[in-house]
Amino acid sequence: DGKVVAITGASSGIGEAAALLLAERGARLVLGARRSERLAELVARIEKSGGTAVQTRTDVTRRDDLHNLVALAGERFGRLDVLVSNAGLGTISPLDDLRVDEWDRMVDVNVKGVLHGIGAALPVFRAQGTGHFVTIASTAAFRIVPAMAVYAGTKFAVRAICEGLRQEAGDSLRVTTVSPGAVGTDFAEASTNPQVRARITEMRDRIAIPPEAIARAIAFAIEQPATVDVNEIVVRPTAQS
Ligand code: NJP
């Protein structure tokens, strides 16, 4: 319906699926990720099917990159209606592995990356008097399982930040968190602990739902009338405990 939607982590998985679905439904897209060549292919694919999309290299750990993403929406389309903060990673391992580098990375991408997006988009949304934050959390933010302490911690933080944002947003901004369970993406590949990696890869291959299922949840929230704020959506594979 012509909404201008910026998506982080649009180069694969859930972000890519959301871009394709929203483009099909008429959104104008501003796509960010670090892998520019994948973004270029996605933009070409969207334009070939009559959609509208632009891209900019976006590392969510860099505050300036989020400002550039939001600014690009203004330059190209004159506004930003929705920020989908989707970029995230789960380098999952037991705390005893002491992968402190991975703990830092998850905090930087999953938590600070979301904050950088809020910092960049909030003033724009306030100036417009309207705007919608859609942020991808996780079912790990509802149920903690071994080896997921830090990942779950980042996603608990995301839900807390988004709930605070919702309460402060007033009656003009909308705030949605979408929490997926196991989704069939590259997400599972990031874990360095061989046992954990084998366990989550096996779970993905056995029960994961396609990223398009999460894209539909994102589209559902975005496409509601302005007076309807869908706050939390949790989507698990039917077979996930
Ligand atoms: O995974 P994947 P998903 N700056 O690996 C980007 C959550 N989730 O689609 O920069 C900017 O295909 C990366 O782009 P690139 C999960 O926590 C998933 O499943 O080019 N972007 C890529 O596009 C995450 O929040 C599952 O490498 C950065 C994207 O993030 C969201 O779903 C379960 C970046 C990751 O795509 C999407 O993940 C769950 C950076 N510094 C929650 N670092 C699941 N799949 O099972 C990474 O509970 N990206």
Residue 240 within any structural domain of the chain: no
To the nearest whole percent, how much of the chain has pLDDT over 90? 90
| 192 conformational bin, left if phi > 0, alpha if psi -120 to 50, beta if neither | alpha
Query: For residue 189, what pLDDT is reported?
Result: 82
Ligand 1 atom 6, closest CA: 9
User: Range of 200's domain?
Assistant: 4-235
Q: How far apart are CA 76 and CA 205, in angstroms?
A: 40
Query: What are phi and psi for residue 131, nearest 5 degrees?
Result: 170, 160
- Determine if ligand 1 sits within 6 Å of the CB of residue 69: no
Q: How far apart are CA 201 and CA 149, in angstroms?
A: 18
- Give CA angle at 34 (55, 114), nearest 5°: 90
| Number of domains the chain contains | 1
- Determine if ligand 1 sits within 6 Å of the CB of residue 151: no
Counting Cα atoms < 13 Å in the Cβ hemisphere of 125 gives 24
Q: What is the pLDDT of residues 163-182, one digit of tens each?
A: 999 999 999 999 999 999 99
Query: For residue 58, what pLDDT is reported?
Result: 98
Q: How far apart are CA 83 and CA 86, in angstroms?
A: 9
What are 33's two structure tokens?
A: 């990720």
Q: Which atom of ligand 1 is nearest to the CA of 39?
A: 20
Residue 241 within any structural domain of the chain: no
Residue 34 within any structural domain of the chain: yes
- Determine if ligand 1 sits within 6 Å of the CB of residue 34: yes
Which residues lie closer than 8 Å to 167 by C-beta, 6 or more apart? none
Query: For residue 14, what pLDDT is reported?
Result: 98
Query: For residue 22, what pLDDT is reported?
Result: 98
Q: What is the whole-number distance in angstroms between the Cα of residue 143 and the centre of ligand 1? A: 20
Closest CA to 79 of 48, 124, 42: 124
Residues making up the chain, counted from first to last: 241
Q: What is the whole-number distance in angstroms between the Cα of residue 225 and the centre of ligand 1? A: 28
Query: For residue 188, what pLDDT is reported?
Result: 79
Residue 84 within any structural domain of the chain: yes
Residue 74 within any structural domain of the chain: yes
Residue 220 within any structural domain of the chain: yes
DSSP string, 6-61: EESSTTSHHHHHHHHHHHHTT-EEEEEES-HHHHHHHHHHHHHTT-EEEEEE--TT
**Catalytic site includes residue 144:** no
Residue that has been written with the tokens 């903060």 in this structure: 85
- For residue 32, the surrounding DSSP H or E stretch is strand 28-33
Q: Residue 29: which CATH number?
A: 3.40.50.720
Q: With a cut of 50, list the residues of the chain below it in pLDDT.
A: none
Contact (Cβ atoms closer than 8 angstroms) between residue 129 and residue 172: yes
Count CB neighbours of 85 within 10 A.
28
Q: What is the whole-number distance in angstroms between the Cα of residue 226 and the centre of ligand 1? A: 28
Catalytic residue among 103, 125, 151, 187: 151
Q: What is the whole-number distance in angstroms between the Cα of residue 187 and the centre of ligand 1? A: 6
